């Protein structure tokens, strides 16, 4: 009886301590957002009645606060989401730029962690690149590329904070699109503030496979991810092409850098361009996008340009004579995409993983396609992780 009583007392104490933890979560942190009560967000979302999407992080609901339409992200498994929640609140709430998703506020109530963003009517970039969706026109692709470069120049160099921000997870799913198809960088759950001039070499490797830099850390790793995004937008290919046999066993995986660099070297940007565009693009802009993308994914991080340099090259596009030629061709596909790839990714295709080449958990995503860019292949992009995991892409 005594043992049962002690067990019950310990259980009650653990539940009470857990319930009281989140209210003090942000108290001592330097943050600029607005704190909402849980009831305010229940009212704003009409009791979380309109779900916009759902993924491993939780669900996103449409809401309205005053005259402003918002997206409320309700994090699942809050005890494991604390670090990402804190990173999002302490970084994104202090950033103010036209190409960064505005974080309106946040809420932590008992076991709930919630983030409130301005609603992006056109969702995320990955939904517009999905082969089953209408073709994203070139004018919008290029505008998104320029806007993303501008956002990176801001967080890396131009923000008023005494520190710079390393995003760590730049990919189409985290690039939101507003009503005018302007890019807004979002999801700062892995982001870190770094003092200007401070080395980021001790920062742990993190991000999404395919977009994650296997060579370096810091702002240069963000530029690697940005380069992959440019190559994906220009070529219409996924970041990683995976070939499987009839039983689902992975036979081969190839990074987009290794595919595009070969095609670009033999036929130029026209040979690389997305076939779904049917030639409807501005050659100078396509050339600049592919050239810059290949520079950014160089295995020599010293060869990669800064976001400010990229912005100057893209807006307006300069002639190729003014953009350095990529020199370092080091393959990406061997790290770690071809090593035990079936066992490396979780069943959800985006989640915790462990690879023989990595001795710590990271987030990963795998993207599959057929081996060419024929119409039939584009119709069979079934594994492209866009509307996957029931995620509508809206934040």
Q: Residue-wise over 361-387: b if at least 16 C-beta within 10 A, else e? A: ebbbbbbbbbeebeeebbeebeebbbb
CB 360 within 8 A of CB 203: no
Q: In three state form, how does the secondary structure of the chain look?
A: CHHHHHHHHHHHHHHHHHHHHHHHCCCCCCCCCEECCHHHHHHHCCCCCCEEEEECCEEEEEEEECCEEEEEEEECCHHHHHHHHHHHHHHHCCCCCCCECCEEEEEEECCEEEEEEECCCCCEHHHHHCCCCCCCCHHHHHHHHHHHHHHHHHHHHHCCCCEEEECCCCCHHHEEECCCCCEEECCCCCCEEEECCCCCCCCCCCCCCCCCCCCCCCHHHHHHHHHHHHHHHHHCCCCEEEEECCCCCEEEEEEHHHHHHHHHHHHHHHHHCCHHHCCCCCHHHHHHHHHHHHHHCCCCHHHCCCHHHHHHHHCCCCCHHHCCCCCCCCCCCCCCCCCCHHHHCCCCCEEEECCCCCCCCEEEECCCCCCCCCHHHHCCCCCCCCCHHHCCCCC
Establish whether 222 is a catalytic residue. Answer: no
Tokens standing for residue 332: 């990406």
List 30, 126, 158, 169, catalytic entry: 169
- Least Cα distance to 72 among 60, 83, 80, 64 occurs for 60
Give backbone dihedrals phi and psi of 97, rounded to 5 degrees, phi first.
-155, 150
CB 192 within 8 A of CB 87: yes
Report the catalytic residues: 169
């Amino acid at each position: 009886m005594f043992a049962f009583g002690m067990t019950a007392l310990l259980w009650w104490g653990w539940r009470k301590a857990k319930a009281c933890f989140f209210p003090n979560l942000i108290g001592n942190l330097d943050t600029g957002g607005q704190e909402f009560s849980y009831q305010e967000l229940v009212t704003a979302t009409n009791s979380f009645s309109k779900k916009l999407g759902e993924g491993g992080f939780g669900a996103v609901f449409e809401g309205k606060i005053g005259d402003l339409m918002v997206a409320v992200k309700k994090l699942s498994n809050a005890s494991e989401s604390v670090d990402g929640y804190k990173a999002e609140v302490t970084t994104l709430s202090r950033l103010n730029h036209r190409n960064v998703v505005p974080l309106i506020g946040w809420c932590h109530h008992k076991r709930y962690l919630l983030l409130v963003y301005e609603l992006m009517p056109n969702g995320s970039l990955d939904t517009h690149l999905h082969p089953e969706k209408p073709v994203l026109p070139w004018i919008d692709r290029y505008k998104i590329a320029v806007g993303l470069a501008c956002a990176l120049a801001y967080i890396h160099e131009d923000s008023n904070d005494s520190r710079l921000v390393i995003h760590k997870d730049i990919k189409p799913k985290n690039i939101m699109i507003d009503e005018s198809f302007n890019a807004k960088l979002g999801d700062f759950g892995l982001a870190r503030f770094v003092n200007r001039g401070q080395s980021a070499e001790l920062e742990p490797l993190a991000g999404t496979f395919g977009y994650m830099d296997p060579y370096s850390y810091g702002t240069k790793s963000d530029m690697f991810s940005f380069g992959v995004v440019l190559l994906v937008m220009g070529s219409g290919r996924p970041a990683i092409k995976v070939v499987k046999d009839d039983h689902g066993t992975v036979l081969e995986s190839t990074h987009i850098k290794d595919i595009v660099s070969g095609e670009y070297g033999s036929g130029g940007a026209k040979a690389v361009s997305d076939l779904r565009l049917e030639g409807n693009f501005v050659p100078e802009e396509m050339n600049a996008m592919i050239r810059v993308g290949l520079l950014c994914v160089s295995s020599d991080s010293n060869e990669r340009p800064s976001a400010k340099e990229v912005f100057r090259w893209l807006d307006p596009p300069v002639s190729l004579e003014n953009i350095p030629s990529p020199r370092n061709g080091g393959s990406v596909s061997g790290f770690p995409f071809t090593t035990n790839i079936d066992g490396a990714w979780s069943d959800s295709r985006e989640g915790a993983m462990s690879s023989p080449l990595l001795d710590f958990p990271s987030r990963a995503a795998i993207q599959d396609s057929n081996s060419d860019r024929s119409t039939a292949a584009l119709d069979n992009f079934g594994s492209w992780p866009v509307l996957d995991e029931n995620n509508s892409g809206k934040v």
